[in-house]
Structure 1
Amino acid sequence: MVDASNRPQIFQHICKSLTTTVYDTLWVPSSARFVVLGSTARSTGSIQVYELSGSELNEVAKVEKSCSFKCGTFGASSLVERQLATGDFKGNLHIWDLEKMGIPVFHVKAHETIINAIDGCGGLGIGHGAPEIVTGGRDGRVCVWDQRQKDDPVALFEPETRDTNRDCWSVAFGNSYNDEERCVMAGYDNGDIKLFDLRTGKVPWETTLKSGMAIGTTIWGVKHLPQNREVFMVLGGDGSLSLYKHSNPSKRSLKSMEGRPYGITDKVNLLSSQPLSTQPVACFDWSPDKEGLAVFGSFDQCIRVAIVTKLNKI
């Protein structure tokens, strides 16, 4: 348990109203800048770059593209290049140089329709092995891309038949502890979770989640604190941010009075919660460089910079 006097607090530092619908916010690595991805009223794509300067936000770049953007990642880029990979509503995967956003440095038609989720690995010191990007789409496919190999994904996982298509809502890399091992976790709209082993091309584990811990609102996303992976922020459909901490039990199993072993579940404790918007919080990103600094977007067409205090006390 966290002492009440040391509980973290969530504060809004800056709020800025935009004319675009915000779908993703991402800190530019090793900088005070962040990227806002979204859609204009004309259903075109918007990439905006802002710089945080004290209590001010300064727009340093803005471009409009033909299709609305849904998601992005810097995870496959080097710290020198800091190239942004984006997924859009027409299934396109682009990689952009933020200093020259006129033409993408890489483009491929990755999915039949909207790319819901994206993640990167192999860049920014994240994982071992080649820099790769994974995308999950409404067509139910999960694709892994290496920009050095044009046109075709280096790995593809899709439903067996068209009739069983599930909307893939989330994807994430993991297990990349050497140059050979790497996995992808994918979540689907019916509660299915699948683990794909990229080395073997198989599904070593899968399950279906029917219910979970009730928190009183729809969950739009979860983001783990880079400096402490046991701490994570939950994005609420009621416009709230809620900070939780995961903790392992002291023992993994106990025995019943009859001598039968049974497992002990992990614990998740609510540390702090704060309503900050009247609309769902659609996206959130922790600063990888300054603990407790975050940027998020909500469907009231606002971006907000938040500060979470006392994270070093938990």
Structure 2
Amino acid sequence: MNIENKPQIIEHINYCLDNTIYDLKWVHGKSNIIAVGEMLDKKGYIHIYNLDRGKFTCISKTNLDKGVKTIAPFFSSTGTYTIACGSFDGNILLYDINNMSEEYYKIRKHTKLINKIDCKNYKNNNIIVSASRDGSVKIFDIRTKQELGVYKYVYPEKNSIFDEKIGCKKGIVGELNKLNDLNVSTQPIISFDWCKDKLGLSVMASLDQTIKIYIITKLNLY
């Protein structure tokens, strides 16, 4: 690799928190970041931060009764920029980013913590999907608030197949070419998001209770 074209990993922000963060996402079209998690008293929170010329400040704070594990922000078909939150008590909470005082709708279909929530796409979206520790995956149309489908994952008896022709387990692996690496934290990174509006701008959350913003250069060359 030409060393002149090697991507550089540059720390831009390292912001310390006094609570546990579980997920974060960029706000589309803005230099804002949504962060969610759990406070020391086991209450949940939704914080919105603004990145402006090297300054990182919290511009919105919303407290919840239960911790929040996962989020998916998107524009609904009505144009509302919605934050879908998956909570520790199994509820899906929908917030209008311009009115964070309370959720505009709550979906109660899971019985345990929601591990992951996602949307079909971030523009003109009406479909969200959730995966819970109750063992189910559910799909919702937020126009009707009704469940579209329910799936439960059943683990197979075997996770590999022995190929008699080659005399070993069958599998195909790809290749990874390392461009660069950097140790950014002594604790696990539990959430990561690329900024869709600026190539190379990323944000991550770590179990050391920090939000870190990094710039990765020269990605256009790869």
Could you tell me the TM-score, scaled by structure 2's length?
Answer: 0.88
SS in 1 for 2:220: helix
Matching residue of 1:117: 116
Q: Which residue of 2 aligns with 1:39?
A: 38
1:270 and 2:171 are equivalent in the alignment: no
Counterparts of 1:117-266 in structure 2, within 5 Å, are: 117-124=116-123, 131-150=126-145, 152-158=146-152, 208=159, 265-266=173-174
Change in Cα spacing, 1:209 to 1:53, as seen in structure 2 (3 Å) is farther
Change over 3 Å in CA distance of 1:208–1:119 after alignment to 2: farther
Structure 2 counterpart of 1:300: 208
| Letter of the 2:139 counterpart | V
Answering whether residue 187 of structure 2 is matched by residue 279 of structure 1, we say yes
For 1:281 and 1:265, the matched residues in 2 are separated by 25
CA distance in 2, matches of 1:28, 1:144: 23
Q: 1:209 to 1:147 in 2, by over 3 A?
A: farther
Q: 2: distance between equivalents of 1:264 and 1:84?
A: 38
Change (3 A) 1:21 1:140: same
State how far apart, in whole Å, the 1-side matches of 2:120 and 2:204 are: 22
2:13 is equivalent to residue 19 of structure 1: no
Structure 1 pair 55–141 and aligned structure 2 pair: CA distance change class (3 A): same
| CA RMSD across the alignment | 2.5
Q: Aligned in 2, Cα 1:208/1:142: closer, same or farther, shift over 3 Å?
A: farther
Give the C-alpha shift of residue 74 in structure 1.
Answer: 1.6
Q: Report how far residue 37 of structure 1 moved.
A: 0.5
Aligned mates of 2:208, 2:114 — CA distance in 1: 22
Which sections of structure 2, spanning at least 5 residues, go unmatched?
Answer: 162-169
Report the secondary structure of 2:208's partner residue: coil
Q: For residues 81 and 195 of structure 2, what CA distance do their matches in structure 1 show? A: 15
Would you say the 8 A contact 1:91–1:115 is kept in 2? yes
Question: By how many angstroms is 1:81 displaced?
Answer: 2.1
CA distance in 2, matches of 1:86, 1:20: 18
Query: Partner residue of 1:106?
Result: 105
Cα distance change on mapping 1:298 and 1:265 into 2, 3 Å: closer
Rounded to whole Å, the distance in 1 between the matches of 2:144 and 2:20 is 33
Q: CA deviation at 1:76?
A: 5.9
Measure how far apart 1:6 and its partner are: 1.4
Cα distance, 1:309 vs structure 2: 0.7
Instruction: Provide the C-alpha distance between the structure 2 equivalents of 1:116 and 1:108, rounded to a whole number of angstroms.
Output: 15
1:269 partner SS: coil
- AA of the residue aligned to 2:210: C
- The count of residues paired between Structure 1 and Structure 2 equals 214
Q: Deviations over 1:194-239 (max 9, x none)?
A: xxxxxxxxxxxxx9479xxxxxxxxxxxxxxxxxxxxxxxxxxxxx
Question: How many percent identity over aligned positions?
Answer: 31
- Secondary structure of 1:71's counterpart equals strand
Q: Structure 1 residue 43: deviation in Å? A: 0.6
Partner of 2:167: none
Q: Distance in 2 between matches of 1:45 and 1:68?
A: 4
Contact 2:116 2:130 in 1 (8 A): yes
Structure 1 residue 265: deviation in Å? 4.9
Give, in whole Å, the separation in 1 of the partners of 2:20 and 2:160: 30
Task: Give the secondary structure class of the aligned counterpart of 2:176.
Answer: strand
Instruction: Return the alpha-carbon distance in structure 2 between the equivalents of residues 139 and 263 of structure 1.
Output: 31
CA positional deviation for 1:82 = 1.7
Amino acid at match of 2:142: Q
Contact 1:123 1:131 in 2 (8 A): no
Q: Deviations over 1:98-124 (max 9, x none)?
A: 121122122111311110011101442
The 8 Å contact of residues 43 and 67 in structure 1, kept in 2 or not, is answered as yes
Contact 2:66 2:87 in 1 (8 A): yes
Bigger relative CO (Cα 8 Å, ≥ 6 apart): 2
Distance 1:155 1:76 in 2: 22
Q: Tell me if structure 2 keeps the 8 A contact 1:44–1:67.
A: yes
Kept in 1: contact 2:83–2:95 (CA 8 A)? yes
TM-score by length of 1: 0.63
Counterpart amino acid of 1:135?
S
| Secondary structure of 1:273's aligned partner | coil
